[in-house]
Chains A and B, each alone.
Chain A
Amino acid sequence: MTYIPYLSTLVTFAFTVAVYNRYRQRGGMHLLLWAVGLFFYGLGTLSEVVLGLTFSAIVLKIWYLTGAMLTAAWLGMGTVHLLIRKGNSAQNITWVLAAVSGLAFILVMLAPTLPGSYNTNLPASEQYKGILTRNGFIILLTILLNIYGTLTLVGGAIYSAFLFWRKKVLANRMFGNILIAAGALSPAMGGTLLKAGLTDMLYLSEFIGAILMYVGFVLATSTASEPVVASAD
């Protein structure tokens, strides 16, 4: 199972480049923010690659910061920019998220680590709790960022798919958004199983999530020229 983060990293960085190139061609803050979120996603899986080879406290912190705290929130922020076109609300929320992300960065980097029995043959997700000391505020931030990110990213994709379905238009975008929603839910479900103590499927769920979202993005942007997410009009 240790090769999975390698594949996830390749897929995620390829996806990041694809989204960023689309941003360069067409503009759109949503694309830039998705690229930022995907870059965090790739940093998280790259950290898993490194942690599978050797232990490093700083890499474990980057893994937690990007994978557990920032990825979903920044991807969701992109969707918010796509759904809220009027006024400065989306821009203001982005500044708040940037400030919270900076705070999270400082808190996680300052968090003490307990060096000891890190096993490179086991996933970081099985071991980090005993090594990275997180205070209540870090845990609270993690929960809030995950709720915000999951709600906006998955909820936004489901909402968009529903609008396309109701209007019976642009089947490629309807299916693309369904895949994006399923892909975004995959790591969230992996984390949920982990929390419930059932099984550690986090690495596999990250890989499946990256593939589904990438395919969904390609499908949703394949033939049309308008934004991926439907408007409510």
Chain B
Amino acid sequence: MPEQPRSKKFSPSFVTEKLVPVLLMLLLIVLLTVFVVIGLSAFGVIPAT
């Protein structure tokens, strides 16, 4: 009997419904912060690396 293919879908849980969106937003905020600092250093507001 051929093996049944596993579903790629995952079931909703607290982690996937609440935690993951928060993590993604946090990562996006940190990414934007890094760009702001790079921009500030490019314009000489803080010393450039």
* A residues lining the B interface (CB < 8 Å): 68, 129, 139-140, 142-143, 146-147, 150-151, 154-155, 158, 161-162, 165, 168-171, 174, 178, 181-182, 185, 188-189, 191-192, 194-197, 224
19 A-B residue contacts at CB 8 Å? A142-B48, A143-B38, A143-B42, A143-B48, A150-B31, A151-B31, A158-B24, A165-B20, A165-B24, A168-B10, A169-B8, A170-B8, A174-B20, A189-B34, A191-B49, A192-B38, A194-B49, A195-B46, A195-B48
Given contacts A139-B48, A143-B42, A162-B24, contact A185 B34 (CB under 8 A): yes
A92 vs B41: C-alpha distance when bound (angstroms): 29
State which size class the interface on B falls in: 20 to 34
* B residues lining the A interface (CB < 8 Å): 8-10, 12, 16, 20-21, 23-24, 27-28, 30-31, 33-35, 37-38, 40-42, 46-49
Closest Cβ of chain B to A125, distance in Å, is 9
Q: Which residues of A contact B10 (CB under 8 A)?
A: 168-171
Q: Is the pair A147, B38 in contact by a Cβ cutoff of 8 Å?
A: yes
A139 vs B46: C-alpha distance when bound (angstroms): 13
Closest Cβ of chain A to B8, distance in Å, is 5
